[in-house]
Amino acid sequence: MGRLSGKVAVITGASSGIGWATALLFAKEGSKTVIAARREEKLKELAVEMKKLGGEVVYKATDVSKEDDIKAMAQATIDAFGTADILVNNAGMGGDTVDLEHQDAKVWMDVYQTNVLSMVLATKYLVRPMIDKKNGSIVNIASVAGIRSGAGGNAYSASKAAMINFTMTAACDLGGHNVRVNCVCPGLFETEMTQKFFDAARSKGKIDLMGSRCELRRYGKNEECANAILFLASDEASFITGQYLAVDGGNTASLNMPGMKV
């Protein structure tokens, strides 16, 4: 018996990074899984890997910035597996890092559409079977950028803070139905989103600096973030809702003031 045996899970943005690692772990833990993202070829590749682990999987090309695509993803889930128990809202984009006088309304709208509205709409279209069964778990992947400054541009950080707050309001709305809503806030991980920073550090011979300000003095492995997502998604977290869990090597726990460490 896996930790997700008998569950039907949907993971958005599964075509790379943390979503990919989570999909593999979910397959290993026995869930029936719908993997959704824009790149169908990558999803096909992932589905093959998941099947090798014994997972039942359906892939659905989905642009989460489009409501019709989200609706179709939800329908594909019901068509394939008849229900939904777990939703991982993982798809996300970074936006730009410009000063306040150069904030771009279009970038803000795109970031909010992809990071925030997609989460709200995926919840809207997938929550009904969870309410009917009086059991469900939604895990939103926000960021330490939603807790503190310094880990992304203004639009990205504000969108991640919005995800954390929606997690709380949705948890209160759905608590009476035994549908839990929680948030994982990753620190620094090497994925497509952060690749340019890792490439730059490697090219300067400074890869050891990446994550070195975390209390654990390193960046995370995608599997370590997937483990936290699995825990919150599973029945092991049955009394946890409305929370955000930083998976960040202790980064947000500390003011980490230069010169103050001995």
Give the active site residues.
Answer: 156
Q: Does 114 bind ligand NAD (CB under 6 A)?
A: yes
Q: Does 76 bind ligand NAD (CB under 6 A)?
A: no
Torsion, Cα 64 69 72 78, to 10 degrees, reads 0
Task: Count CA atoms within 13 Å of residue 169 on its CB side.
Answer: 9
Closest CB to ligand NAD among 114 and 137? 114
CA separation for the pair 244, 141 (Å, rounded): 9
In the list 77, 123, 143, 234, the residue contacting ligand NAD (rule: CB under 6 A) is 143
Stretch that binds ligand NAD, among 45-53, 63-71, 121-129, 168-176 (CB under 6 A): 63-71
Q: Does 186 bind ligand NAD (CB under 6 A)?
A: yes
Stretch that binds ligand NAD, among 27-35, 62-70, 73-81, 167-175 (CB under 6 A): 62-70
Closest CB to ligand NAD among 178 and 212? 212
- Residue 75 CB neighbour total at 10 angstroms: 12
Strand partners, 160: none
Q: Does 95 bind ligand NAD (CB under 6 A)?
A: no
Q: Does 63 bind ligand NAD (CB under 6 A)?
A: yes
Residue 51 near residue 57 (C-beta atoms within 8 A):
yes
**Residues whose CB falls within 8 Å of the CB of residue 262, separated by 6 or more in sequence, listed in order:** none
CA separation for the pair 124, 146 (Å, rounded): 22
Interface positions with ligand NAD (CB under 6 A)? 13, 15-19, 37-38, 62-65, 90-93, 114, 141, 143, 186, 188-189, 191-194
